[in-house]
Amino acid sequence: MDIEEKQWRFIINEPLKIPQKMKLTKEDVWGEVDVEKFPIKRVSKGMIVASQAKGYPSTCPIWKDKLPYKSVTVVCKKEQVPDVVYWLEFVHGGDSVSRMKDLPKGKVALRSDYQCW
């Protein structure tokens, strides 16, 4: 069989749909770190309310459980959810958001678990 006769099959995975206009940056969600100085210092905590990382409570104030290794709980406004999910999956890997809960005053809590093992 000549190469011209072969039929090629391609499988293309659909990437996460990126919101049309990103209103939030990675630093808005994950916080900002000053890497210019040593030791590295956290400038802001972003939207994270619980994490195993230093400087955060390891017990989640939303679900009242101890967070798994490298997991985070984030609180944002409902209209920010698409951007926040994008940045959580950008860092933690696809399909990392494992829990979501509506909160009072138009807020939403999201749990993101590290997927890049």
Would you say residue 92 lies in a domain? yes
Distance CA 110, CA 117 (A): 21
Would you say residue 1 lies in a domain? no
Query: Considering its fold, how many domains does the chain have in total?
Result: 1
Look up the domain containing 80 and give its range: 17-112
Would you say residue 12 lies in a domain? no
Would you say residue 4 lies in a domain? no
- Please name the residues in contact with 18: beta carbons below 8 A apart, sequence gap of 6 or more: 86
Strands (E), 1-117: 32-34, 41-44, 48-51, 72-77, 97-103, 107-112
Would you say residue 9 lies in a domain? no
Would you say residue 8 lies in a domain? no
Instruction: Kindly report the pTM of this predicted structure.
Output: 0.79
* CA–CA–CA angle 15, 111, 55 (5° rounding): 120
What are the tens digits of pLDDT across the range 14-42?
Answer: 445 665 678 999 999 999 988 888 888 88
Above pLDDT 90, what percent of the chain? Answer: 59
Q: Which residues of 51-64 are buried (b: 16+ CB within 10 A; e: fewer)?
A: beeeebeeebebee
Tell me whether strands 107-112 and 97-103 are parallel, antiparallel or unpaired. antiparallel
What are the tens digits of pLDDT across the range 59-114?
Answer: 999 999 999 989 999 999 999 999 999 999 999 988 899 999 999 999 999 999 99
